[in-house]
Structure 1
Amino acid sequence: MKNDYKDRIDKVIKYIEENSNQKLNLDILAGVSNFSKYHFTRIFTSIVGVTPVAFVNQERLQKAVYYLAETNKTILEISNQCGFESLSTFNALFRKHYRKTPSDVRNSVRKKSNFSLHFSNKQEELSPLQDYNRNRENQLLKRAWENMITIKELPEHEVAYLRHVGSYLDTRVAWDKLGRWASQQGLTPKNYQFIGISLDDGNLVEEYACRYDACVTLPSGFERYKHMKHVEFKTLSGGMYALYPYYDTIEKFVLAYQNVFSLWLPNSEYDADDRPCLEFCMNDPAKDKDGKCKVDLYIPIKKRI
């Protein structure tokens, strides 16, 4: 099963290499891979080691170095030919990656006959992409994952929620506020489920801009119109999910996502479906003797075709 993921990621990489001078976005690349666009970045990053955007930029920068060293094209021409949105974007990314400006590189060509080779070697030193899929399938690891993951069908859930914008480590304020409102309505953890939804991939969105919904399930016939000023409402999609139980500190929870998407999913018979992951909160970390959170992480999946 893992070879299928490798082949699909290889197809994306080949597409990037052949079209890096064109406008590329996540929708296009997800379409090439036939992965859910909602989860494509997380899958690509877990397998390759960098985000698709970083990979595209790296490919463009490598070509830019060649043009600078081996042609007389102007820096503006090179920027356009390599697919950068603007000259300022090209200059900023180039300086960040190589610690030199494009002009510095061009001027150095006259001093170093092997400059292109030097920067090619430097590129390899900086790149985490070599042999990205070098690990062979580990049957023992596969069996361990099979014992940890449970495939479940979930129904739709009607929920009330509050949105938090900022670090995923600072969602406590939203939970406290939702908890007070829920308690007033008689919605307690003993009878109703509290669900977190991390809406943004931290590989793409700055930590301060990440969106997170703190949700509580509602009884049938709940009179929403009376509470519109205090909370919002929505329906969480049902369907097939892979359940991964997690119990550790909040700070390490992001590793649960990384492990499932990089270790279990590629070796499974499933693809991630185009729905958000659901984080069922099974305890209150503030009341846990070790300060740990217990979360049932539900990954939306579909049978691989």
Structure 2
Amino acid sequence: MNNDYLNRIDNVIKYIKENSNQKLTLDILAGVSNFSKYHFTRIFTSIVGVTPVAFVNQERLQKAVYLLAETNKTILEISNQCGFESVSTFNALFKKHYGKTPRDVRNSVRENSNISLHFSNKQEEFSQLEAYNGIGRNHILKRAWENVITIKELPEYEVAYVRHVGSYLDTHVAWDKLGRWASWQGLTPNNHYFIGISLDDGNLVEEFACRYDACVTLPSGFERSGHTKHVEFKTLSGGMYAVYPYYDTIDKFVLAYQNVFSLWLPDSEYDADDRPCLEFCMNDPAKDKEGKCKVDLYIPVKKRI
């Protein structure tokens, strides 16, 4: 794996460990990594194995266990010292991960010194990975990715879209609505692109709040008036994209993203750009004999400097 990517993630991990008592937003961590804010979480998660938010919480909770066992600080003092937004947030996260309240742990931790081991030290695990140490790079796999992924330049697209808010597994409702409207306008897959856009990272946003736009490209000069009851309109940015063809069930689609960001991107000549990924839908899964979706996944990229 590209040492530059690993070094950048390592810098984030060190920053988190040294500043876990401070406010650590995704904007701050993305800035430390020098990755695109839009794609930072995917890159971090694909390499480390947990989201940046989860990693920050792990660091704070392990520090809290130590302070509970080794000091007489109050629960409020420990919560503040470890960087939690409030003592109620601290208590809730602590109980979720340990199954006990901080007070319960304080009463028992000296009798069970291994309780802090319920959380592994993710940086130690990370530093022992073959990829992290630059060992065992799989050149055959790299060549395979080079044969699968192509780089394309896209123009801007004017699109009509229907927004879905909720699970990414339930986007068919938006597609059904858009499909009916597109059919009325004579916009078919034979002459226009149908594009999905996942606007939120499911690792960061609750499933019920994830936003997804089902889009169809429009012909030049399309008259928009009279259609706003059915669809909305916007412009999709053009630019350079890495294209990965995907054919499998919808529930495995997230793995396609993870593979591109963890296996191909670090060793490529490109960095992720700060634009949404585009999912060009090439079939209707409901009509596929295997129930699979055929999607060309467009990852926005820019030449690495």
TM-score when normalising by structure 1: 0.95
Q: Give 1:121's aligned residue.
A: 117
Shift of 1:120: 3.5
Is the 1:50–1:128 Cα contact (8 Å) retained in structure 2? no
Question: Using the alignment, how far apart are the partners of 2:83 and 2:59 within structure 1?
Answer: 10
Question: Using the alignment, how far apart are the partners of 1:268 and 1:233 within structure 2?
Answer: 34
Is 1:12 aligned to residue 8 of structure 2? no
Is the 1:152–1:240 Cα contact (8 Å) retained in structure 2? yes
Letter in 1 for 2:181: W
Q: Give 2:76's aligned residue.
A: 76
Question: Using the alignment, how far apart are the partners of 1:12 and 1:131 within structure 2?
Answer: 12
Shift of 1:304: 1.5
1:260-275 paired onto structure 2 within 5 Å: 260-275=260-275
Question: Using the alignment, how far apart are the partners of 1:303 and 1:245 within structure 2?
Answer: 21
Describe the SS at the equivalent of 2:126. Answer: coil
Runs of 4+ in structure 1 over 3 Å off: 109-112
Letter in 2 for 1:72: N
Selected match of 1:130 from 107, 125, 135:
125
Q: Give 2:87's aligned residue.
A: 87
Question: Using the alignment, how far apart are the partners of 1:248 and 1:97 within structure 2?
Answer: 34
Letter in 2 for 1:233: F
Q: Give 2:180's aligned residue.
A: 180
Count, aligned residues: 300
Describe the SS at the equivalent of 2:226. Answer: helix
Question: Using the alignment, how far apart are the partners of 2:205 and 2:272 within structure 1?
Answer: 20
TM-score when normalising by structure 2: 0.95
Is the 2:69–2:110 Cα contact (8 Å) retained in structure 1? no
Shift of 1:128: 9.3
Is the 2:193–2:280 Cα contact (8 Å) retained in structure 1? yes
Question: Using the alignment, how far apart are the partners of 2:292 and 2:65 within structure 1?
Answer: 48
Question: Using the alignment, how far apart are the partners of 1:202 and 1:15 within structure 2?
Answer: 24
Q: Give 2:167's aligned residue.
A: 167
Shift of 1:109: 4.4
Question: Using the alignment, how far apart are the partners of 1:172 and 1:121 within structure 2?
Answer: 44
Is the 2:155–2:237 Cα contact (8 Å) retained in structure 1? yes
Describe the SS at the equivalent of 1:295. Answer: strand
Q: Give 1:226's aligned residue.
A: 226
Is the 1:2–1:137 Cα contact (8 Å) retained in structure 2? no
Describe the SS at the equivalent of 2:125. Answer: coil
Question: Using the alignment, how far apart are the partners of 2:232 and 2:288 within structure 1?
Answer: 29
Alpha carbon RMSD of aligned pairs, Å?
1.5
Question: Using the alignment, how far apart are the partners of 1:199 and 1:33 within structure 2?
Answer: 22
Question: Using the alignment, how far apart are the partners of 1:208 and 1:111 within structure 2?
Answer: 42
1:30-51 per-residue CA deviation (whole Å, 9 max, x = no partner) reads: 0000111111111111110000
1:137-176 paired onto structure 2 within 5 Å: 137-176=137-176
Is the 1:197–1:279 Cα contact (8 Å) retained in structure 2? yes
Shift of 1:110: 4.9
Is the 1:153–1:239 Cα contact (8 Å) retained in structure 2? yes
1:271-302 per-residue CA deviation (whole Å, 9 max, x = no partner) reads: 11000000001111122222211100000001
Question: Using the alignment, how far apart are the partners of 2:224 and 2:7 within structure 1?
Answer: 48
Task: Give unpaired runs (5+ residues) of structure 2.
Answer: none
Question: Using the alignment, how far apart are the partners of 2:110 and 2:161 within structure 1?
Answer: 62
Shift of 1:203: 0.6
1:81-137 per-residue CA deviation (whole Å, 9 max, x = no partner) reads: 10000001111111111222111222124545xx2xx13333228x69713642332
Q: Identical aligned pairs, as a percentage?
A: 83
Is 1:35 aligned to residue 8 of structure 2? no
Is the 1:49–1:129 Cα contact (8 Å) retained in structure 2? no
Task: Give unpaired runs (5+ residues) of structure 1.
Answer: none
Question: Using the alignment, how far apart are the partners of 1:168 and 1:107 within structure 2?
Answer: 43
- Answer with 128-137 or 82-91: which moved more: 128-137
Describe the SS at the equivalent of 2:118. Answer: helix
Letter in 2 for 1:197: I
Describe the SS at the equivalent of 1:190. Answer: coil
Describe the SS at the equivalent of 1:106. Answer: helix
Is the 2:109–2:115 Cα contact (8 Å) retained in structure 1? no
Is the 2:75–2:102 Cα contact (8 Å) retained in structure 1? yes
Question: Using the alignment, how far apart are the partners of 2:273 and 2:90 within structure 1?
Answer: 35
Letter in 1 for 2:44: F
